[in-house]
Chain A
Amino acid sequence: MRDVAILGVGMTKFGELWDRSFRELGIEAGFQALVDAKLSSKDLGALYLGNMASGSLIEQEHIAPLLVDYAGLSGHHLPAIRVEAGGASGAVALHQGYLAVASGAYDFVVVGGAEKLTDVPDVTANRITGATADQEWESVFGATLPGLWALMARRHMYDFGTTREQLAQVPVHMHEMGSRNPNAHYRNKITLEQVLSAGPVAEPLGVFDCAPLSDGAAAVVLGPLDRARKFTDTPVQIRASVVTSDTMALHHRTSFTRLDSTIVAAKRAFAQARRRLTDVNVAEIHDAYSISALLALEDIGFSEKGAAGRELAEGKFALGGTPTVNSSGGLKAQGRPFGAVGVAQAVEIVRQLRGEAKERQVSGAQLGLAHDVGGTGATSVVHLFERAN
């Protein structure tokens, strides 16, 4: 297997982008990444596209060749492959692109992620995103995606004494970070009182404990590390790329206060990279709901079991923290265009490792981690990225 580097990155603004179509978003992110990599499109070997539910959301399947076509590249007859893994679709697409380059099958590939959520009413979008849980044995009985995460939150509070206020610190943290990110869906800072007084969604989670429905796209260009210097002075190596799975339904797990798929993914990733948890300077974690972030911090190992709520509230993961968590603003503030999320996490880590993150830059960032989850943890993905010296 060859070492793989990220040569270029791009992303659109995330948000309710009423005036922009799925095609426009995908193409903008893709071309940004190609221009950033200084790669001619004739050198591309393949496109991998992470997308959760275009068939339901924009009534369009077969979207990978569609984006290649509207990028003006149909004449190259590239392999154009869509990847779906619920909210982790983008992260799994990155894994596929990594494998393609590492194996030598292709030299240069674009990995994109794109989702258009605001072309359907919110209630429909909620139904579609809820389909990443078990339709037959959860949704039919009244379970929603935030409802299932709320079940984890309640049990975490019961077992470990996590408080409602500690949960509420998660979106406060994310909005603080998002305020420094020009691409973020939300750039406003919020207070603990605002989170606590917002309407309930699924108790104990309220409106501010849930990431928004966003439109957006992100893309990266991958290539072999030993050829990366031809394209960029600051290649970022993918040191580990791990995808894991678990039971579809939450109720079939052995524990409701952790995601085993994440625990295993993180352990395998650090073993693959031969790096330690304490080497990580910047991390982008899955914070779709406040409890998601706390579980991720504990499952990856940044916090002891049960301590994430307290440690996040104390500022351990603020800018310059150990590590800095979700400098982009995360899913909560940067936004949650489902299939684009995993790729956007990679974009943020690359910008941090290159020293291009401007007012949210973590100085000297060398090693970065990205963690994404599909559904309630039936898929987890962990990537480790390192600045190549």
Chain B
Amino acid sequence: MSIARFWRETPRRYNLGGSRCLNCTNVYFPPRAVCPSCTAHRQSLGKMEPFQLSGEGEVISYTIVHDPAEGFEMQVPYALALVRTPEGPVLTGQVVDISPEEVRIGLTVRATFRKLREEGKAGVIHYGYKFTPSQAAPSPDRRGAVAESVAEPTATGNAAT
């Protein structure tokens, strides 16, 4: 990956800078130029303002990766999770500073700035967010910690109608 390609995303990958639609107040990460929730998309054009995520979140699903993505060979096995933030967006990232076996759905986490991967010995070093536990791991039977019940779409389209 070229240096510019990674560098231009640093405000988001380093500082969790997202965006909020002034029309409907929904928050997006990474930032979007157009709000997918507003009925008429063009209403949101020019009305997406920068919005800072807090970095707090809760694990809503996870896996332990053994067959890694390129550049992550030295990190296996690693826990990869979907993390729902209190502001709304869900992020994909690693959960570290905890044994992968102890990661659970419902674990509360906080984003932290870490090295993601290196492009070989002489290549670019990529930095960005990973997640660390912000409390002791919950018991494994903490079912229903995050409500994921949402209506299914219809044949004519999705919820944004």
Contacts and interface: CB of A to CB of B under 8 A. Distances in A.
B63 A142 contact: no
Interface residues of B, number: 44
A124 B69 CA distance: 10
Contacts, number: 126
Interface string B133-161: 00000000001000010101111011100
Contacts of B128: 140-141
B38 interface: no
A127 B70 contact: yes
Given A136-B9, A151-B82, A143 B61 contact: no
B116 interface: yes
Nearest to A134: B92
A260 B150 CA distance: 11
A202 B63 contact: yes
Contacts of A257: 148
Contacts of B34: none
A142 B128 CA distance: 11
Contact of B66 (A137, A151, A201, A250): A201
Interface in A184-221: 199-205
A364 to B, nearest CB: 29
Given A151-B80, A151-B82, A142 B116 contact: yes
B72 A142 contact: yes
B155 A264 contact: yes
A138 B92 contact: yes
A154 B62 contact: yes
A199 B93 CA distance: 23
A378 to B, nearest CB: 13
SS of A interface (majority): helix
B49 to A, nearest CB: 19
B58 to A, nearest CB: 13
A141 B157 contact: no
Contact of A155 (B13, B105, B150, B153): B105
Given A151-B80, A203-B66, A141 B60 contact: no
A139 interface: yes
Contact of A202 (B30, B65, B152, B154): B65
A40 to B, nearest CB: 40
Interface in A241-263: 249-252, 254-258, 260, 263
Nearest to A207: B67
A126 interface: yes
A250 B91 CA distance: 9
Interface in B57-96: 60-70, 72, 75, 77-78, 80-82, 89-94
A153 to B, nearest CB: 8
Residue of A126, A136, A158, A264 contacting most chain B CB atoms (<10 Å): A158
B66 A202 contact: yes
Contact of A267 (B80, B92, B155): B155
Nearest to A205: B63
Nearest to A206: B66
B62 A252 contact: no
A202 B64 contact: yes
B126 interface: yes
A256 B66 contact: no
A271 interface: yes
Residue of A136, A147, A258 contacting most chain B CB atoms (<10 Å): A147
A263 B65 contact: no
Given A263-B152, A267-B155, A142 B69 contact: yes
Contact of A254 (B61, B116, B150): B150
Contact of A255 (B13, B64, B91, B148): B148
A141 B93 contact: yes
A159 interface: yes
B126 A140 contact: yes
Given A137-B30, A251-B82, A151 B62 contact: yes
A155 B90 CA distance: 14
Contact of B90 (A143, A158, A252): A252
A326 interface: no
A136 B92 CA distance: 11
Interface string A124-164: 10110010000011111111101110111111001100000
Residue of A144, A150, A159, A251 contacting most chain B CB atoms (<10 Å): A251
A136 B126 CA distance: 12
Interface of A: 123-124, 126-127, 130, 136-144, 146-148, 150-155, 158-159, 199-205, 249-252, 254-258, 260, 263-264, 267-268, 271
7 contacts: A142-B78, A143-B92, A200-B66, A250-B92, A251-B92, A263-B153, A264-B157
